[in-house]
Structure 1
Amino acid sequence: MTEARRRAGAEPQGRPRVSGLVLTAVGVLCFGLLGAYLMFFGGPGSDDSTGDRSVAEGGAPAADGKGAAEEKPTATASAEPVDDKALERFARAYVRIASRNPKRGLALLTADYRGASPRYLEVWSRISDPRILEVEGDPDTLSVTYTYTYSYSGRPRTEEVTLRLVKRGDSFLIAGGKARPH
């Protein structure tokens, strides 16, 4: 040991114990697996709320300018029937909006679903070139299922997504969803 180290109180450190290295490696692996699971199955979401907007059935943002916070959407049946084509248009518009502007996409989620989706902005900011292959709306369950391909951080992926929607006036918001690799 050099004179300067001795004065500073530093002593040479020995090699870490093997059990410490193994525990560290297991911890890193667990966090990595958890991160991968959340990225693919945890769903999109973020605490970064930018105000609520809804998408009208035709795919354009609602013109009323009212946010979802003013009117909490519910999953109750609507007095007016919902057309399966309207659900399909919503899904197409949502994927287009979320991939081009994740903050606008985030606004299409109910407040509860945004809270349950803390990584939304991170995930959607890495998605590019989405292309819907199949889409099918189900008016009875107010859901829409689509299969799409996209690039995630430069890697091609195909996924089947089912969105559970709620009706708000002539618009929809996403109240839940699940995805699985296809």
Structure 2
Amino acid sequence: MGFFDSLFGNKNQIPTVTSILPDAARQEIIAGRLPILNTDKLFLKKGEKIHFIDKAVNMEQKKVKEFRHSGGSAPGLFKGTRWSAGRGKTVEHIELVQHRGILYVTNQRIVFQATEWGFDKQYRYLTAITPYSNGCEMQFGSKTYCLIVADGSILNHVLKLIRQRRQIP
């Protein structure tokens, strides 16, 4: 079951993502080895290596407030006036906003490059990961990012391999 299938059950709002991760890199990850990938789009720090590059969608839950009016109105007795009767109330609902970009996972950080809602986070701030078949939910302190990718199990496997390597002294 996918991430937003479990939360909302509405498959019409869930984007599909086509992978750009090379098949050779995917096979290395499945075999338990971290591939080293190259790109000219991300500035790497000293000793930093990219192990995962793929298209992703950062899903934002946005609370929207709308004013709904019930009642009617009619022309008034004098020219230029109106008479209205009724009530109104504020209605809140949640909308999902999609921010498309590229997800990079290196041996030092996780970077989501996008025009909006991009982020660059180091592993030491990663507090929780929840994998899904079509994505991954990553929590950094009090901020949670819900990322949709082509294959959530590959992303989760890369994060586990990096975590295992980082724990070895």
* TM-score after normalising by structure 2: 0.26
Higher relative helix content = 1
Higher relative strand content = 2
